Structure 1
Amino acid sequence: MEYQEKLRFAVSCSSNMNRSMEAHSILKKRGFNIESYGSGNQVKMPGPSIDRPNCYEFGTTTYDFIYNDLRHKDVHMYTQNGLLNMVDRNRRIKKCPQRFQNETREFDIVICLEERVYDQVVDHLTRRTGLTGNVVHVINIDIEDNPEEATLGAFFVAEICSKLESCEDVDNEIDEILAEFEVKNPRRNMLHTVCYY
């Protein structure tokens, strides 16, 4: 299959930090045409207490900046809780967290990793103007926001992507592929809808 013929995948969590970046990393290594996003208003990461998260802007704040900022604030705490390691991985994949709602590129498949993210992505796609009429399949698969689940979830996403990539006709085969996946993984809250660009 030529690169141009590959499906264009996007994966989104809330902050483009943990779940979507773990999936991005694995899919990129496997040769998929993949981008990753957040769908929230800003990048939010755990801080010194639950009511004091670290917040950054999408698109303008680099992973390098976030890495150095966390090191400066409390290198011991952010090493212990794994955040520095996570951001270090992210900066080797791309420059900065991106917000799905600011993206102008079109995708064939958008995989969301939490129902709230799915709702935000579908809402954005249904409100867009200047439609090209191109189909985009939006899928949800619930992945908890912690490092272990993000790794496990990334393999689920890769499995779905490989099955979709090997389809002859994604539009006709996607429902069957997702139904089979849901039977094997009943706790993952699979949702699927078709939107248009």
Structure 2
Amino acid sequence: MAYDPRLSSAGTATAPSPPPPPPPPPEAMGGTTTPTTQPQPTSTPNEANNNTVAESESSSSSYKLRFCTVCASNQNRSMEAHLRLSTASSPFPVISFGTGSLVRLPGPSITQPNVYNFNTTSYSQMYDELLSKDERLYRNNGLLNMLERNRNLKWGPERFQDWVPGQPRVEHVSKGDKGALGTEGGVVDVIITCEERCWDAVVDDLMNKGSPLNRPVHVFNVDIKDNHEEALVGGKAILDLANRLNEAASQERKASGADGWENGVGEARRNFDARVPDILAEWQEKWPHLPALWTLAWL
């Protein structure tokens, strides 16, 4: 057993090692034994502080950035990314939107798309309608499979321009939307679009909203072709970017504390923001076929 220096300060010395040969047992000498109780070590102030720091570091390492994924109709690319982020081994809080004026899905011809309204038409309604129209067509082109995935993630497509940053989103938690936990406050740290025109629409809309929260948000574009195969690859790439960003955020919060983080101030936040371009550059080397853009905007 290791020697505990605190025992001597408490008035109890450790017993010396018995010299060989071992002494005869007390019973053989006609004596009796008296059990002794060795004091248990107690936590010192330094140990208590260390425990507090360890708990703080554990909390910091479990920190999760909040994400928003965006494509034109909130159907394919943004929803694949939504799926990847919300069902990762360590899930992220995530919301998703479209930037178009209407939700447009392929129809029987290029001039006959299926058109729906944002915010009022559920994925289940779209699924049932296309199923009744032509199950064979929409099964073969992947729309029914896509809508099946979508309706298991959230209620229906939302339009980014209708989103009010800071407006509570508690109803999405009650609906069972994947990734809704952590987004109840209606704010995000990172927005990732899937097409340059969507990135333009998002940046313009944030400027038009006038930054009511005065809160910084990183806006990325990962250019993904709008088909099911490319959406699968793009979703993996977006999850990789999210993991890299979150790791850096956790490191900075652990090193400098989280003071001012939510308001975009403090050393940890400044250091994280400064690292973002390098993180994106490293990510781009791994995913060269997915051209990316980035800017810092405000909610």
Give TM-score scaled by structure 1 length.
Answer: 0.95
Residue matched to 1:128: 209
Separation in 2 of the partners of 1:93 and 1:195? 27
Uncovered stretches (5+) of structure 1, i.e. residues with no partner: none
Give 1:73-152 correspondences, 5 Å limit: 73-104=133-164, 105-129=186-210, 131-152=212-233
The yes-or-no answer on 1:177 pairing with 2:279 is yes
The amino acid of 2:293's aligned partner reads L
- Residue 35 of structure 1: CA displacement? 1.0
Q: Compared with structure 1, are the counterparts of its residues 92 and 191 closer, same or farther at alpha carbon in structure 2 (3 Å cutoff)?
A: same
Q: How many residues align?
A: 197
Separation in 2 of the partners of 1:4 and 1:47? 44
Contact 2:220 2:294 in 1 (8 A): yes
Out of 10, 18, 21, which is 2:76 matched to?
18
- Residue 132 of structure 1: CA displacement? 1.8
The yes-or-no answer on 1:161 pairing with 2:242 is yes
Separation in 1 of the partners of 2:282 and 2:210? 34
The amino acid of 1:19's aligned partner reads R
Residue matched to 2:95: 35
- Residue 125 of structure 1: CA displacement? 0.4
The amino acid of 2:87's aligned partner reads K
Separation in 2 of the partners of 1:130 and 1:190? 24
Higher strand fraction (1 or 2): 1
Uncovered stretches (5+) of structure 2, i.e. residues with no partner: 1-58, 165-185, 253-270
Contact 2:237 2:287 in 1 (8 A): no
Q: CA RMSD in A?
A: 1.6
Deviates more, 1:82-91 or 1:180-189: 180-189
Contact 2:211 2:298 in 1 (8 A): no
Which has the larger Rg?
Answer: 2
- Residue 52 of structure 1: CA displacement? 1.0
- Residue 102 of structure 1: CA displacement? 1.2
Residue matched to 1:193: 295
Secondary structure, aligned partner of 1:148: helix
- Residue 130 of structure 1: CA displacement? 5.8
Q: Compared with structure 1, are the counterparts of its residues 107 and 54 closer, same or farther at alpha carbon in structure 2 (3 Å cutoff)?
A: same
Contact 2:105 2:115 in 1 (8 A): yes
Secondary structure, aligned partner of 1:16: coil
- Residue 101 of structure 1: CA displacement? 1.3
Separation in 2 of the partners of 1:190 and 1:18? 19
- Residue 106 of structure 1: CA displacement? 2.2
The amino acid of 2:221's aligned partner reads N
